[in-house]
Structure 1
Amino acid sequence: MHERAGTPARPEDLVDVEALVRAFYDRVPDPAVPAERVAFGTSGHRGSALASSFTETHIVAITQAIVDYRRGQGTSGPLFIGADTHALSAPAMTAALEVLVGNEVRVLVDEYDDYVPTPALSHAILTWNRSPRADAEGRADGIVVTPSHNPPADGGFKYNPPHGGPADSDATGWIAARANELIEAGLAGVNRAEPSAVETYDFRGRYVDDLENVIDIDAIRRSGLRIGADPLGGASVSYWAAIRDRYGLPIEVVNERVDPAWGFMTLDWDGKIRMDPSSPSAMAGALEAAGRFDILTGNDADADRHGIITPDGGLMNPNHYLAVAIEYLFGHRPGWRADAAVGKTLVSSSMIDRVADALGRRLWEVPVGFKWFVPGLVDGSVGFGGEESAGASFLRFDGTVWTTDKDGILLALLASEIRAVTGRSPSELYRGLAERFGDPAYARRDAPASPEQKTALGALDAASIDADTLAGQPVTAKLSRAPGNDAPIGGVKVTTADAWFAARPSGTENVYKLYAESFRGPEHLALVQDEAQAIVDAALGGSS
Structure 2
Amino acid sequence: MTPIKFGTDGWRAIIAKEFTVENVARVTEATVQWLKDNTNGTSSVIIGHDCRFAGEMFAKTAAIVFAKGGVQVKLASGFVSTPMVSLGTCKENADLGIVITASHNPPAYNGYKIKGSYGGPLLPEKVQEIEDLIPNSSDFKYDEEEFKALQAKGLIQDIDLEGMYIAAVEENFDLDAIRNSGLKFAYDAMYGAGQNVIRKILPDAVLLHCEDNPGFMGQAPEPIHKNLLEFSDLIKNSGDIAAGLATDGDADRIGLYNSKGEFVDSHHIILLLIKYLVEQKKMTGKVVTAFSASVKVKQLCDHFGLEHETVKIGFKYICSHMISEDVLLGGEESGGIAIKGHVPERDGIWMGLVIWEYMAKSGKSLEQLIDEVYAIVGKFAFQRNDLHLTESVKQSIIERCKKDEFKSFGSMSVADIQKIDGFKYFFNEDEWVMIRPSGTEPVLRTYAEAETLQKAEDILNACKQEILD
Per mean C-alpha deviation after superposition, the further-off stretch among 412-421 and 278-287 is 278-287
* Amino acid in structure 2 at the alignment position of 1:323: L
1:65 aligned partner? 30
1:529: how far off? 5.2
Matched, 1:281 2:235: no
2:20 matched residue in structure 1: 55
Residue type matched to 2:350 in 1?
L
Query: Could you say if the C-alpha distance between residues 79 and 283 of structure 1 is closer, same or farther in structure 2, counting changes exceeding 3 Å?
Result: farther
Deviation at 1:147, TM superposition (A): 0.7
1:353 is matched with which residue: 262, 274, 298? 298
Deviates more, 1:213-222 or 1:164-173: 213-222
Measure, in 1, the Cα distance between the counterparts of 2:291 and 2:356.
Answer: 27
Counterpart in the other structure of 2:433: 501
1:114 match: 78
SS in 1 for 2:133: helix
Identify the residue that residue 125 of structure 1 maps to in structure 2: 89
Question: What amino acid sits opposite 2:303 in the alignment?
Answer: A
Give 1:120 shift. 1.0
TM-score using structure 2 length: 0.87
**Alpha-carbon RMSD:** 2.9
Deviations along 1:47-67, one digit per CA (max 9) or x if unpaired, are 1135x2322222111111111
Which residue is 2:361 aligned to? 421
Matched, 1:84 2:50: yes
Alignment of 1:369 with 2:311, yes or no, is no
1:11 aligned residue: none
Structure 1 residues 71 and 465, CA gap change in structure 2 (3 angstroms): farther
Whole-Å Cα distance in 1 between the matches of residues 367 and 4 of structure 2?
42
Can you list the C-alpha shifts for 1:226-273, whole angstroms capped at 9, x where unaligned? 2332322221122223323xxxx743444431111223xxxxxxxx61
8 Å Cα contact 1:220-1:417 kept in structure 2? yes
1:170 corresponds in structure 2 to: 125
Match of 2:213 in 1: 259
For structure 1, which runs of at least 5 residues remain unmatched after alignment? Answer: 1-29, 32-36, 130-138, 264-271, 397-401, 482-488, 538-542
User: 1:448-491 deviations in whole A, cap 9, x for unaligned?
Assistant: 45546767888x7986324455555564543333xxxxxxx2x3
Asked if structure 2 preserves the Cα contact closer than 8 Å seen for 1:102 and 1:192, the reply is no
Which deviates further from its counterpart, 434-443 or 351-360? 434-443
Assess if the C-alpha contact under 8 Å between 1:313 and 1:428 holds in 2. no
Amino acid at match of 1:282: L
Structure 1 position 103, deviation (Å) = 0.8
Q: Assess, with a 3 A threshold, how the Cα gap between structure 1 residues 73 and 475 changes in structure 2: closer, same or farther.
A: farther
Aligned-partner SS, 2:225: coil
Structure 2 Cα separation of the partners of residues 386 and 260 of structure 1: 28
Per-residue deviation, residues 148-196 of structure 1 (Å, max 9, x unmatched): 12221111111112232112222222323332xx23xx326x7988223
**Is 1:510 paired with 2:442?**
yes
Distance 1:202 1:380, change over 3 A: farther
The separation in 1 between residues aligned to 2:101 and 2:70, in whole angstroms, is 24
For the residue of structure 1 that corresponds to 2:166, the secondary structure is helix
Partner residue of 1:231?
189
The CA distance in 1 between the partners of 2:119 and 2:443, in whole Å, is: 32
Aligned to 1:269: none
Residues 241, 285 of structure 1: alpha-carbon distance in 2 compared, 3 angstrom cutoff:
closer
Q: Work out the number of aligned pairs and report it.
A: 457
Change in CA separation of 1:378 and 1:527 when aligned onto 2, cut-off 3 Å: closer
8 Å CA contact 1:346, 1:367 repeated in 2: yes
Query: In the alignment, is residue 437 of structure 1 matched against residue 391 of structure 2?
Result: no
Q: Give, in whole Å, the separation in 1 of the partners of 2:357 and 2:112.
A: 33
Task: Return the alpha-carbon distance in structure 1 between the equivalents of residues 221 and 78 of structure 2.
Answer: 19
State the SS of the aligned residue for 2:298.
helix
In structure 1, the residue matched to 2:113 is: 158
Superposed displacement of residue 437, structure 1: 3.1
1:41 counterpart SS class: coil
Give the equivalent residue in structure 2 for 1:133. none
Kindly report which structure 2 residues correspond to 1:17-36, keeping only aligned pairs within 5 A, or say none: 30-31=1-2
Shift of 1:388: 1.3
1:140 to 95, 98, 101: 95
Q: Which residue of structure 2 lines up, in the alignment, with residue 385 of structure 1?
A: 330
2:247 pairs with 293, 299, 309, which one?
299
| Residue 21 (structure 1) aligns with | none
Contact 1:342 1:356 in 2 (8 A): yes
The 3-state SS of whatever aligns with 1:294 is: strand
3-state SS of paired residue (1:158): strand
Aligned-partner Cα distance in 1 for 2:303–2:142:
56
Counterpart in the other structure of 1:330: 278
1:198 aligned to which of 129, 140, 156 = 156
> Does the 8 Å CA contact 1:83/1:117 hold for their aligned counterparts?
yes
Structure 2 portions without partners, runs of 5+: none
AA aligned opposite 2:128: G
240 and 508 in structure 1: CA distance in 2 versus 1, 3 angstrom threshold = same
Percent identity over the alignment is 25
Q: Secondary structure at the match of 1:308?
A: strand
Measured in 2, the distance between the counterparts of 1:322 and 1:258 equals: 30
